[in-house]
Structure 1
Amino acid sequence: MKVIEEENIDNFNGKINSVNFENGECITYLPNVFVVTLASGRNFLVMKKRLSNHLNTNIYKEHHWQSNFQTDSIFYKRLRYGSDDSFIVDMQGIKNFINASNLDFNDEDIRAILIKTGILTNQNYLRVGVAGAPETPNHPGGEVLEEQIIYGGNGSGVSNSFSGYLDSEEGFSKEISLNINGTMSEPRMVYSHTAFLGEAKTKSNSLYFKLKKAERFNLMDCIKNIASELGVNAFSAQILLKKRENDKTTIKGRVLKRKPQVKFDDLSFATEIGNEKEFPLEEKQSFVSFGTYYFRNDVDWFDFTKGREYERRGHYHAHIINSPSPQQHSVFHLRELYVDKDTPVEFILCPISEVVKITPIEISGKSYKCSVTGKDINSLMKEFIDV
């Protein structure tokens, strides 16, 4: 990746091919519930729901969070993305992970499904978020930070997505672009949790923040608390942190050691398979992170962990740029970010009112069942839509 001052959406250079969405089938099962069969023959349940945000813009203005906005910030052009029809998409998730089942898919599957269901419309989207990528003969895979411009008409676009992979299970992740010979690699693994931020024709809903505190603080907690104060229940976040000299900002990041092969017996298996390390952000380095939050009421995770909310502060991945050291994860699942006192941090928070969940299903008699858990469609709907 280029140095942070040049890292902007005009520099994305990986081609994203258009998708084959004409073949296959889309059946409306119920309003906002679809069964999609792709050209590959795979079946997916697609559920869409609205969430209530009660954004209090007066609180935003009173706190002066938007003060000192610099037009040369890398966020300047991003702020126009965040139209009313922006949405979060969860393709697969934690149930696939803990059951080590139906892990692989292609990113183009997501784009084809969104077009076939009419969720992706004929406009440009800034897409940011997280995913996993499998090792292939052409790419080492790893933890993915997704960053793309998508044209909704045919699913094509440009990509600046990166992944972090391990040379050894106990080492630190190394960065590598998801672009191969100028085109984005499509294989993904376990999950893809991203926000599609529509390009606003008039006013965008995206909000710019610049914070600097007199004491050390946890930024993930801070963003979640600010969202709650504003009345926002679902959002995407784009974070930029530029390292000051002599500050003590520290990061805790996690990278998957290996692709899960067998169902986990308990939480210790999920912990062991992750390589989690804490390390400082070093002098003259910068940090970007993208994530999404809504109340992900995954019943299987709740039962597996005996009551934990899945990604209770949001699901974030991150990338250290400007020469990551051998003692840092370069691209990783962000677990904690402790920002030192008097260190400025910028982020964009975009309230989002629509969430889409995509789950692999298979034919079972005259109906369908979840390919991972065996639950029927009505059970899956109850777990997602009724919450």
Structure 2
Amino acid sequence: MNVIDTLKDRGFLAQCTDEEGLRELLGQEQVTFYTGFDPTADSLHAGHLIALMAMSHMQRAGHRPICLVGGGTGTVGDPSGRTDMRQVMTDETIRHNCDCFRRQISHFIDFSEDRAIMVDNGDWLRKLNYIDLLRDIGAHFTVNRMLAAESYKQRWEKGLTFLEFNYMIMQAYDFMELNKRYSCKLEMGGDDQWSNIIAGVELCRRKKNTTVFGLTNKLLTKSDGTKMGKTAGGALWLDAEKTSPYDFYQYWRNIDDADVEICLSLLTYLPMDEVRHLAAAEEQGINKSKEILAYEVTKIVHGDEEAKKAQKTAKALFSGGVAAELPQISVAVGEKLVDALTRGKVFVSKSEARRLIQQGGLTLNDVRVADEHYILQETDFSAGTALVKKGKKKHYQLVY
């Protein structure tokens, strides 16, 4: 099967500059392709999973990925999908975030024996001469065409800075540079990148008279069209220090029934016949399908051992037990509960902790905490541990 058919069957494919031309190329040779990741944080999140899995399917079909981290474009910030300008990061922060991305991407992509390449666009973008860039590249971009891009349209009311206006040119330059260095013939990205990808395809044609292709993947959304991967605490991170493997597992275990099939299709390697069978289950059967989904996604991101621990913990909690694999927070008898939970990063602030207590959303050993000034006592601990539940799904062990 051509990998294009795999991507379509699993629900990845959104748009393509020339689907039949790309299908023919992918059937004839090993194609070098790339996807870019701007270092906007020190961890990738659930929204990146679609791109990572699409790249993985491409590599499994025999093609060679280039994973580009945006050490150059990250200095500007992509306006796509934004209603305001991104916070400008220091060079040190950008370098740190790029290093974090490299480690996480290697969980999905095999870099051994030149099967994939990792590059940083800062290696060439930071060396460009501004006047030369304007004359050599800027002449191939019309302002009218750029302003028609959806990513720029969304910013008219609040204002689009000239800094961000350059982003499309920088991303297009990346494609041309990767084509020159590595014979890269395909750029892949989320569907919100369509305008930027087309710009790169056009620049390669105009400057090098080279035919290259662009392909976008569907974004990770729920059946109602809203973004998936958002939690009460913010993004669902791939870094175990920011989102524990247990919390990561629980997110997928608790998705809506209507989202099971698309998540199994996009976020696991299970054969599509099995995906459709699992998604067709009803009542208790669909809960089993969600457990399989949660285990498979957690295994891909965190490894088999962590996935098994998360699954074991979830089952222990569901049956009324307490499992040692829960996130643990060291505390002291006589310490305020709010202080301990804030220090343990259960809450970002003490005021957030107090608000949840006032709303009745925090329990200690299955008893609702009513006093925001509650002080931990020795009687709260059984064999040195106590169980805290934040909301309906977040569990933590207090250890002293």
Q: Report which structure shows greater RCO (CA 8 Å, sep ≥6).
A: 1
Q: Which has the higher strand share?
A: 1
Q: Mark the structure with the bigger radius of gyration.
A: 2
Whether the TM-score (by the shorter chain) exceeds 0.5 is no
TM, length-normalised to structure 2: 0.24
